[in-house]
Structure 1
Amino acid sequence: MRKIEAHPDAAIFPMMSADDLANLAADIKAHGLVHPIVIGKIEVADGKTKEVIVDGRNRYEACEIAGVEPRFAELNGHDPKAFILSSNIARRHMTAGQRAMAYARIYPTQGTRGRGNKIPKFGEFTGVTSQRVADARLILEWAPDLVDNVQNGSTIISEGVKEAKKRADAASTEEAKLDKLRNAAPDLADLVAEARMKLDEATAAAKERADSLIRQRKLVAEEMARTLDFFVQDNLDAETRAEQIAALFDVTQATAEMKQMSETLALLISHAQRGGTHGE
């Protein structure tokens, strides 16, 4: 018995239970294979094609168990994806949510496939609507861990949509925070991108950095205002005056910006003195 793999999209639908498969094998052994196994071809690497089972995975396994050589039928021009979807939806007991999820998994996006095979319209399958498929695609994108649960019916599609929307909203908020962080503190944003720091931690660090700079600037402004009158009457040169101004705050801890502002203030005082002298 030749070994043939199943079409990837056929694997979306679960196999029979072990007991059901054993019963099918017994029936095939007693009466033969009634319905042939449908095979088709899919493209693989380097433009080559491979033969796969499009419909009849359970029958194929049952034949192997029963020791019966299976019969095969060629798909002959039909779109494998559409055939898999229609044949499984038609004979399985599936909710509207399960049908929509199957459709979305086989056709993640709407459009036209190659070689003239158009994606089937929603209305071609009972219970499959555009909104249901949109919901299923949302789950595929934002909550892929729930896809199998929706497919097997353990999670209803509305619950999956609720969780997917929650994650999408959170991701949108985080992306906005990250964009803001990139503008304010690119180095911290890089740490987040490299998974070396959490976004909330980096945001807090950036805020503390910004607050510290504001405090430093406020300190400089206050010291400048407080010392202006004290020094304006002195007959000191600008360099000496800058040193005395800087000494009012711990110059060893001062930022380059604070030192520059001290020097600028000293020059302003000198200009003010000269202006005052000319005015007398």
Structure 2
Amino acid sequence: MAEGAAPTLCVIDGRNRIAACQRAGVKPHTIMLKGDDQDAFIADANLERRDLTKGQKAMLIAVRFPEPNKGGRGKKQNSFDAKQFSVARISLARAVLAYCPEMVQPIIDGKMSLDDAYNEAQQRKRAGESNEERFNALDAAHPDLAQLVREQTLSLASAESEARERNEKHEHLIRSKALTISELATRIGLIDKAQGDLLVQAYRDRPEAFKTACLADDIDQWIGVFVNLKAKLTEGERE
């Protein structure tokens, strides 16, 4: 029995024996656990039972020893690792213990197979790794959104949606600017000497049609914009 937070006692092991004693009118002999590891006690008490499957025994060992035995010089092997248990099955059980702790007791009780629980554990592990990769990608491209995920202000899926929307807006802006430059280059390319002479004559004849106070000043402004743009574009090439 184990002493919990409440003043009542609970049975850790031996429910069937207690029931048999009650039917026989015999007072059962009990041992009080005080501060001992209840899971370890259950594992120790049940591992020698012959009616347990290999999956149940592997899970009991995993509960008793969650970490694999390291062995090596000067290190003492635990008693279960020294016995003839399947190391592979114990490894599966430890994976279930790590990723599906709610399935541990059903396995021990024989209500769930170790293999089925391990399949679920693998799926949860892969999902966790996938989420980590997604978060790292988000953090690299949009650290502000990643910070909101850390603070649990945004879910990872919502942050990814916001990131996609930002990327789409940025891509649209790039396409728009590229189109503007392309159209401008095409129009300027059409103004040869003859076309330039016609443009000057048209401006002199009807300056109001050009909707500008001074076309020459506008041209100076355009030249300034393109000179500045060229300087920025060639800045990296000179370094």
Same fold, TM-score > 0.5, yes or no: yes
Q: Supply the distance in 2 between the matched residues of 1:117 and 1:24 (Cα, whole angstroms).
A: 40
SS at match of 1:94: coil
User: 1:69-88 maps to which residues of 2 (within 5 A)?
Assistant: 85-88=43-46
- Report if the CA contact (8 A) 1:13-1:88 is conserved: no
Q: Are residues 1:16 and 2:19 paired?
A: no
Task: State the identity as a percent.
Answer: 23
Which AA in structure 1 matches 2:133? A
Which AA in structure 2 matches 1:265? F
User: 1:1-280 maps to which residues of 2 (within 5 A)?
Assistant: 5=3, 14-17=13-16, 20-25=17-22, 29=26, 37=31, 52=36, 85-91=43-49, 93-111=51-69, 118-122=77-81, 124=83, 128-228=85-185, 230=187, 235-236=216-217, 240-241=221-222, 264-265=225-226, 267=228
Q: Supply the distance in 2 between the matched residues of 1:155 and 1:16 (Cα, whole angstroms).
A: 21
RMSD: 4.0
Change in CA separation of 1:154 and 1:51 when aligned onto 2, cut-off 3 Å: closer
Change in CA separation of 1:28 and 1:120 when aligned onto 2, cut-off 3 Å: farther
Q: Supply the distance in 1 between the matched residues of 2:105 and 2:68 (Cα, whole angstroms).
A: 21
Change in CA separation of 1:121 and 1:172 when aligned onto 2, cut-off 3 Å: same
Question: Which deviates further from its counterpart, 130-139 or 228-237?
Answer: 228-237
Considering fraction of residues, name the structure with more strand.
Answer: 1
- Report if the CA contact (8 A) 1:191-1:197 is conserved: yes
Q: Supply the distance in 2 between the matched residues of 1:53 and 1:217 (Cα, whole angstroms).
A: 64
2:205 is matched with none
Question: Which deviates further from its counterpart, 165-174 or 220-229?
Answer: 220-229
Change in CA separation of 1:51 and 1:14 when aligned onto 2, cut-off 3 Å: closer
- Figure out how many residues of one structure are paired with residues of the other and give that number: 200
TM-score by length of 1: 0.58
Change in CA separation of 1:216 and 1:148 when aligned onto 2, cut-off 3 Å: same
Runs (5+) with no aligned partner, structure 2: 5-9, 197-214, 231-239
- Report if the CA contact (8 A) 2:61-2:80 is conserved: no
Residues 192-249 of structure 1 show CA distances to partners (whole Å, capped at 9, x for unaligned) of 222222222221221121121111011111112212465687643677438xxxxxxx
Which AA in structure 1 matches 2:226? L
Runs (5+) with no aligned partner, structure 1: 41-49, 55-80, 243-262, 270-280
Task: Tell me by how many angstroms 1:147 deviates.
Answer: 1.2
Change in CA separation of 1:235 and 1:134 when aligned onto 2, cut-off 3 Å: same
Residues 14-58 of structure 1 show CA distances to partners (whole Å, capped at 9, x for unaligned) of 5415xx42322565837x85xx85x89xxxxxxxxx67598xxxx
TM-score by length of 2: 0.66
2:203 is matched with none
Change in CA separation of 1:181 and 1:26 when aligned onto 2, cut-off 3 Å: same
Change in CA separation of 1:216 and 1:15 when aligned onto 2, cut-off 3 Å: farther
Q: Supply the distance in 2 between the matched residues of 1:87 and 1:97 (Cα, whole angstroms).
A: 16
Residues 46-71 of structure 1 show CA distances to partners (whole Å, capped at 9, x for unaligned) of xxxx67598xxxxxxxxxxxxxxxxx
Task: Tell me by how many angstroms 1:91 deviates.
Answer: 3.4
- Report if the CA contact (8 A) 2:2-2:12 is conserved: no
